[in-house]
């Protein structure tokens, strides 16, 4: 059952721009998510055990965003707004509410650039609005020499294996469906790529698997690729471990060693990134959207 709620704010201003996703702001039209991914980092917060059963729609989001963007635009504080930083903006309920589309239309009016992070095929419905944003939005001045795009569309995957995906992303589109949706975005001229985040330790992060992921990204035309490690905390860690016990019980000791904290060691993370960057160079795919050190 979907609950309709009112909120006090919809536009979250970040302290500093994210170096991977380039977002200065975030907008999440919904609370919780019908895709119900087992590994979602949000599970470690107040959202609880089943995000599908407690799905909420922020019915006053449009009124709030209008006021907030009007104020920011007046001060020329244009920056990338990421959609789906903590919950899928194009999840199935948006077919009914069309809230994400209405929010995008407001964003278009005030000329803010957008980073759409998604697993959903529903984003294809909104390519017309996103195209207008891509044509008219105002980039932050410090990005104008580094990026020629005002809309970025990133598809999130944790694995290419459909059986593994069904275990950890039970209600999300299949990996192939996501890749095909990205391909359609590329055909429409969008700057689109893949975030293999999170890679699942000992399940989808082996050398040959990461190479296949980068190779597949190239085959589907991805403009960029980046990878990230799994985060486990709170209820989310318990749920993930329950899933391991059912499907990968032999991995429990390895996870106990790897997850002494909520994230794997810095050595693990650095190795993962280095491996992905080297493979991107091999297959001639850009690693990360841009380098802020350029």
State the CATH number of the domain containing residue 31. 3.20.20.70
Answer yes or no: is 180 within a domain.
yes
Answer yes or no: is 227 within a domain.
yes
Closest CA to 244 of 223, 258, 227: 258
What is the pLDDT confidence band of residue 266, given thresholds at 50, 70 and 90? very high
Q: What is the pLDDT of residue 258?
A: 96
What is the pLDDT confidence band of residue 92, given thresholds at 50, 70 and 90? very high
Answer yes or no: is 282 within a domain.
yes
Q: What is the pLDDT of residue 70?
A: 98
Q: What is the pLDDT of residue 235?
A: 87
Range with lowest mean pLDDT among 12-21, 46-55, 207-216, 283-292: 46-55
Answer yes or no: is 293 within a domain.
no
The whole-angstrom separation of Cα 89 and Cα 21 is 16
Largest Cα separation within the chain, whole Å, is 57
What is the pLDDT confidence band of residue 95, given thresholds at 50, 70 and 90? very high
Q: What is the pLDDT of residue 54?
A: 74
Q: What is the pLDDT of residue 50?
A: 53
pTM: 0.95
Cα→Cα distances 269→113, 121, 197, 205, 263, Å: 30, 30, 12, 11, 9
Three-state DSSP at 196 gives strand
User: 29 pLDDT exceeds 70?
Assistant: yes
Burial code of 178-199, b = ≥16 C-beta within 10 A, e = fewer? bbebbbebbeeebbbbbbbbbb
Helix residue spans in 87-206 (DSSP H): 94-97, 99-110, 127-136, 162-168, 175-187
Three-state DSSP at 229 gives strand
Range of the domain at 232: 3-287
What is the pLDDT confidence band of residue 41, given thresholds at 50, 70 and 90? confident
Q: What is the pLDDT of residue 234?
A: 86
Nearest-Å Rg of the Cα atoms of the chain is: 19
Domain total in the chain: 1
Mean pLDDT rounded to a whole number for the chain: 94
User: 210 pLDDT exceeds 60?
Assistant: yes
Higher per-residue confidence, 194 vs 44 = 194
Q: What is the pLDDT of residue 43?
A: 66
Average pLDDT over residues 177-190: 98
User: 294 pLDDT exceeds 50?
Assistant: no
User: 256 pLDDT exceeds 70?
Assistant: yes
Q: What is the pLDDT of residue 1?
A: 76
Q: Indicate left, alpha or beta for 85 from its phi (over 0: left) and psi (-120 to 50: alpha).
A: alpha
Answer yes or no: is 21 within a domain.
yes
Answer yes or no: is 294 within a domain.
no
Q: What percent of the chain has pLDDT over 90?
A: 91
Q: Tens digits of per-residue pLDDT, 113-160?
A: 999 999 999 999 999 999 999 999 999 999 999 999 999 999 999 999
Please tell me whether the peptide bond between 289 and the residue prior to it is cis, using omega within 30 degrees of 0.
no
């Amino acid at each position: 059952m979907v609950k309709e709620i009112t909120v006090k704010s919809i536009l979250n201003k970040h302290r500093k721009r994210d170096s991977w996703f380039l977002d200065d702001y975030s907008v999440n039209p919904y609370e919780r998510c019908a895709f119900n991914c087992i590994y979602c980092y949000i599970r470690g917060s107040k959202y609880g055990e089943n995000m599908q059963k407690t799905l909420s729609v922020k019915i006053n989001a449009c009124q709030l965003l209008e006021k907030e963007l009007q104020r920011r635009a007046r001060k020329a504080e244009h920056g990338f707004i990421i959609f789906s930083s903590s919950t899928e903006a194009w999840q199935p309920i948006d077919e009914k509410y069309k809230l994400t589309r209405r929010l995008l239309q407001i964003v278009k009016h005030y000329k803010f650039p957008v980073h759409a992070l998604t697993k959903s095929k529903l984003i294809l419905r909104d390519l017309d609005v996103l195209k207008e944003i891509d044509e008219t939005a105002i980039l932050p001045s410090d990005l104008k020499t580094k990026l020629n795009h005002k809309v970025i569309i990133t598809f999130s995957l944790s694995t290419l294996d459909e059986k593994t995906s069904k275990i950890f992303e039970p209600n999300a589109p299949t990996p192939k469906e996501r890749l095909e949706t990205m391909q359609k975005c590329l055909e429409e001229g969008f700057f689109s790529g893949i975030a293999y985040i999170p890679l699942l330790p000992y399940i989808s992060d082996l050398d040959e698997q990461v190479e296949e992921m980068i190779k597949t990204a190239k085959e589907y035309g991805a403009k960029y690729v980046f990878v990230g490690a799994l985060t486990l905390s709170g209820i989310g860690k318990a749920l993930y471990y329950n899933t391991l016990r059912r499907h990968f019980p032999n991995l429990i000791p390895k996870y106990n060693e790897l997850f002494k904290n909520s994230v794997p060691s810095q050595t693990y993370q650095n190795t993962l990134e280095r491996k992905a960057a080297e493979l991107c160079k091999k297959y001639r795919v850009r690693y990360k959207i841009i380098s802020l050190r350029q």
